[in-house]
Amino acid sequence: MTSVAAFLGLDYHDEAIEVNVMDHRGEILVSRRCPNSVAAVAATVPPGCRVAGAAIEACCGAADFAEELMKATGWTVDLAHPGFVARMKQNPDKHDFGDARMLADLERVGYLPRVWLAPESIRQLRRLVRYRQQLANEHRQVKLRMRAVLREERVPKPEARPWTKAWMLWLTEKAELGAQSRWVLERHLRRLEELDRELRVVERRLVLVTRDDPVVRKLQTFKGVGLITAVTLRAEIGRFDRFRTGKQLARFTGITPRNASSGKRQADAGLIKAGNPQLRAVLVETAHRLMRLEPRWIALGAAIRKRSRSGSLAAAAVANRWVRWLYHQMCTMDQAV
C-alpha cells in the first residue's frame, strides 16, 4: 500500500499545540489541538501517512521542542521565520487554526521561510551570553539612575571623570546630598557591587564552557576581538559557513544599509531593521576599536568621516566590511558543534 505524503503545521504554545496535517494536494487531513508533548503531536498523524515535513514557528521553546520531535520521530522539522510568515498571510484574522494551516501549506509548497535550528550546545551558550547581557544592561541602568539623582540635587560636577576611583571617592565622601538622596545612592552603589561580582562569575563561566571551542579561540586571535565579542558571535551566529556569502552574513547581523530609493532618487536610510540588536551593538563596538587599532580600518573610517562627518556612519560601514572579511576567514575552518 502506498503511503500518503503528509505535511504538518504546528502552532506552538506553552500548554498546547495546534496541529494541522495536510496532504500533498493541500487537503486538511487532521486539525487538532493537543497537549504540548512529542507523543501527542506524533499521534495526530493518520495511519498510512508518511510525514514529508513539519513546520513550527520560531518562538520561545520551539527550538527545543523541534529537536525533541526530530529525535523521537525521525521527521524533518523546520523552524519558520515568524515575521515573514506573518507577511505571507492573506487573512487578517489571527487564530491558531489559521496559523497551523498556513505553516503546513507553506511547508507543502516549499515556500516556508526557514531559520536555522541551532544545536543544543549553541542554544545553551546563547542563554548564558544573554544572561550576561541582561546583567550589563541592569548595570548601565543603575549608573543612569545614580546620575539622575545627582542632576536632581544640582550637585556641581567634580574635575574627576565619572566612575573613576577619584570620582567614586568624591561621590561617597564629598558630594553634598540630602539624607534620602544619600541613602538611595548608597543602595545603588551596593547594587553595582553585586552586579560587578555576578558579571565576573558569568564571565568565568563563559571562559570555562568555551575553552575547547575552536571557533571562539580563532575569533579571539583577531585584533579588537575579546572574550565577550567572541562568545557573542559564536552564540548568535553559530556557524559562519551556513551563510552563502559574507554579504548575507552582514545582512543577518543587521549592519547593512537600508535602501530608500524611488525612481531616479537613490538613497540609503540607516541600517536595516533586522538582526539581533545585541549582536549589532557588539559589532559596532568592535568597529570603533578597529578604527583605533588597525591601519586598514583606521583609513576606511577616516575616509568615510571626511565625506559624511559622522562617526556612527563610519563605525557601521567598518562593521559591515569587517564582518564580510571575517566570514571568509572563518569559513576555512571546521565549525562543528
pLDDT tens readout for residues 120-170: 999 999 999 999 999 999 999 999 999 999 999 999 988 889 999 999 999
Residue 85: predicted pLDDT = 77
On the question of pLDDT at 8 being above 60, the answer is yes
The stretch 204-215 carries a mean pLDDT of: 95
pLDDT at 1 over 60: no
Residue range 237-250: mean pLDDT, rounded: 93
Geometric angle at alpha carbon 85, from 82 and 91, rounded to 5°: 125
**Position 175: which residue type?**
A
pLDDT of 334 higher than 80: no
Domain residue spans of the chain: 4-115, 120-209, 214-330
Global pTM value: 0.88
Is the confidence at residue 88, as pLDDT, over 90? no
Average pLDDT over residues 97-121: 92
Banded model confidence at residue 55, pLDDT cuts 50, 70, 90: very high
Fold of 4-115: Nucleotidyltransferase; domain 5 (3.30.420)
Q: How far is CA 291 from the centre of its chain?
A: 25
HSE (side-chain half, CA atoms, 13 Å) at 28: 13
